[in-house]
Amino acid sequence: MTKQSIHGGWNRRMTFILAAAGSAVGLGNLWKFPYITGEYGGGAFVLVYLFSIALVGVPLFIAESLIGRQTREAPIRALASLAQASGRGRGWASIGWLGAVNGLLILSFYSVIAGWSLDYLLGMAKGAFSGASAEQVEATFDGLLGSVPRLVLWHSLFMMAVVWTIARGVQKGIGDAIQLMMPALFILLLVLLVYGAIEGDLPAALGFMFSVDFSKLSLDAWVVALGHSFYTLSLGMAVIMAYGAYMPAGVSLVRTAGIVALTDTLVALLAGLAIFALVFGNGLDASAGPGLMFVSLPMAFAQMPFGSLFGAAFFLLVAFAALSSAISLVEPIVAFWVEKTGIARTKATVILCAFAWALGMATVLSFNHWSSDTLFHAWFGKTAFDSFDFLSTNLLLPLGGVLTALFAGWFVLPQLLKDQYREGGTLTGYPLWLFALRVISPAGVSLVLLTGLGVNLWVSALVAAVVVLGAGVLSSNLTLKTREA
Ligand code: TRP
């Protein structure tokens, strides 16, 4: 008999796929991917991002869901017990702690941005954008960013929705809604793309996103593309591990990872194409930053037949996509806390979300009173929001990801890995996967991160080699010791 998680299992394979895809597809795809692609120059950035999804993201996705399903526990305990079962120290559980902290950090600003889509949902439903000129649409966005009460209101409402959903429990809270929302989102993106092709400039969008010019790619862009590949697949902070614990036995982790990654990437590319077609068709600036989606799309909705209706539907779906992602940022921590202390689920959720909510105030203020001359500017040269985003996405997620890859690749008992990998499928690609975990991820991520932080290329390469070799040596030493003992 397979163990079941105490938080309830997901009986059908589809539910796991939907929940994982619900976590993966979110603001990262619809809002963030287009705007960072715009900021970092298009084609070459997209290519690096796609490579890192395939070489680092998918293998890590398999590893995380594997660890979860193997143990059926929330991440921190899952890591500790799997480490013990493999004859290793419990120190690996720190990956879970790192993830917990990072999850709350991400949730703090995620909720603020998700709040924008609620504001737009209301605006669209009221017909506020219908027939609006480009200037009016831009002024509306600036008006929202300038209003602290409005930002706080929507941030608070969104956070309450998160609390409510998690408090209801895994299956009831997460499972049902996503089933409807995901296909609806897909269809609406296609509608937008068709509209963009007719009224906007689709060839320009295609050229921008897919013609590769590496001379435009800064070191920063590598770090951001890599970080985003973790962010968009919800990797690097043990979320997929937590969901893996609810995954039924007898289902192939490999195939599932492929399906989720494909869906996620497709949504991002569709959103990017639709948005850039409209951006270039309306003479907007591709590098406009975080406001890109919130300015370009309303302009299209303003002119489109039934624009207010489509617009309202779109921002409703954005809000739902954000909700199904946001819950995954706290669910693992809630699950751990409940397992560990028996605290009531609702209470744990409220406390954690209240903390993230308060931290979110720094992001709210980043767009108005704190937009310049703060401590964050002095230390990091950016607003609080940009600093949080950079720290969590581009540093902590890759760090968590590398540690997870090293743990699974070098330290977990190979037989456990093999059995889980084979379950519901075949061993095809297993050596390649192991190589990706053991070598490509740790070395690649270390290299990109260190050079991106300004470390000399040769020094970075040396560190990358030491990380991989060190893990290899350390793991074989310990294996010997446990065998002798
Ligand atoms: N993947 C989500 C998005 O693209 C964001 C997200 C949800 C996330 N849960 C996560 C990112 C866990 C990292 C880790 O919007």
Report the Cα–Cα distance between both ends of the chain, in Å, rounded: 31
Nearest C-alpha neighbor of 295 from the set 128, 142, 124? 142
How does DSSP classify residue 454?
T
Q: Which amino acids bring their CB within 6 angstroms of ligand 1?
A: 23-24, 26-29, 106, 231-232, 234, 237, 239, 325, 328-329, 397
Please, is 452 exposed, middle or buried when counting C-beta atoms within 10 Å of its C-beta (0-12, 13-18, 19+)? buried
From the CA of 26, give the closest atom in ligand 1. 15
Rounded Cα distance between 364 and 112, Å, is: 7
Residue 13 C-alpha to ligand 1 middle, in angstroms?
Answer: 21
Give the model's pLDDT for residue 2: 46
Nearest C-alpha neighbor of 56 from the set 227, 185, 208? 227
Six token digits for residue 356: 């993230």
How does DSSP classify residue 251?
S
Count how many Cα atoms sit within 13 Å of the Cα of residue 325 in the half-sphere of its side chain: 28
Residue 230 C-alpha to ligand 1 middle, in angstroms?
Answer: 8
Contact yes or no for 237/316 (Cβ under 8 A): no
Residue 231 C-alpha to ligand 1 middle, in angstroms?
Answer: 5
Give the model's pLDDT for residue 406: 96
Q: Tokens 């660890």 identify what position?
A: 67
Give the model's pLDDT for residue 98: 94
Rounded Cα distance between 352 and 357, Å, is: 9
Residue with the smallest CA separation from ligand 1 atom 7 is: 325
Contact yes or no for 245/68 (Cβ under 8 A): yes
Give the 3-state DSSP-derived string for 357-408, with helices as H, strands as E and coil as C.
HHHHHHHHHHCCCCCCCCHHHHHHCCCHHHHHHHHHHHHHHHHHHHHHHHHH
Nearest C-alpha neighbor of 223 from the set 19, 4, 447, 475? 447
From the CA of 102, give the closest atom in ligand 1. 14
User: Residues 451-462: pLDDT tens digits?
Assistant: 888 899 999 999
Six token digits for residue 298: 């309303």
Residue 319 C-alpha to ligand 1 middle, in angstroms?
Answer: 14
Rounded Cα distance between 148 and 39, Å, is: 26
Residue 469 C-alpha to ligand 1 middle, in angstroms?
Answer: 31
Nearest C-alpha neighbor of 97 from the set 72, 73, 80? 80
From the CA of 264, give the closest atom in ligand 1. 4
Residue 94 C-alpha to ligand 1 middle, in angstroms?
Answer: 20
Give the model's pLDDT for residue 1: 36
DSSP 88-104: --GGGGHHHHHHHHHHH
- Return the best residue to mutate from 33, 106, 324 for the ligand 1 pocket (most ligand atoms within 8 A of CB): 106
H-type alpha helices, 86-173: 94-125, 134-146, 148-168
From the CA of 326, give the closest atom in ligand 1. 7
How does DSSP classify residue 439?
I
Task: Say how many C-beta atoms besides its own lie within 10 A of residue 346's C-beta.
Answer: 15
- Return the best residue to mutate from 105, 329, 392 for the ligand 1 pocket (most ligand atoms within 8 A of CB): 329
CB under 8 Å to 389, separation ≥6 — which residues? 109
User: Residues 71-88: pLDDT tens digits?
Assistant: 998 889 999 999 999 989
Contact yes or no for 209/42 (Cβ under 8 A): yes
Contact yes or no for 155/357 (Cβ under 8 A): yes
Q: Tokens 């446990």 identify what position?
A: 482
Rounded Cα distance between 40 and 217, Å, is: 7
Residue with the smallest CA separation from ligand 1 atom 6 is: 234
Six token digits for residue 233: 């697949």
Q: Helices 94-125 and 307-341 meet at what angle, rounded to 10?
A: 150
Q: Tokens 């991106």 identify what position?
A: 452
Residue 322 C-alpha to ligand 1 middle, in angstroms?
Answer: 9
Rounded Cα distance between 104 and 112, Å, is: 13
User: Residues 420-443: pLDDT tens digits?
Assistant: 999 999 999 999 999 999 999 999
List of the chain residues with pLDDT < 70: 1-13, 170-176, 477-485
Six token digits for residue 443: 């070395």
Residue 44 C-alpha to ligand 1 middle, in angstroms?
Answer: 23
Nearest C-alpha neighbor of 195 from the set 308, 301, 312, 269? 301
Nearest C-alpha neighbor of 73 from the set 241, 237, 236? 241
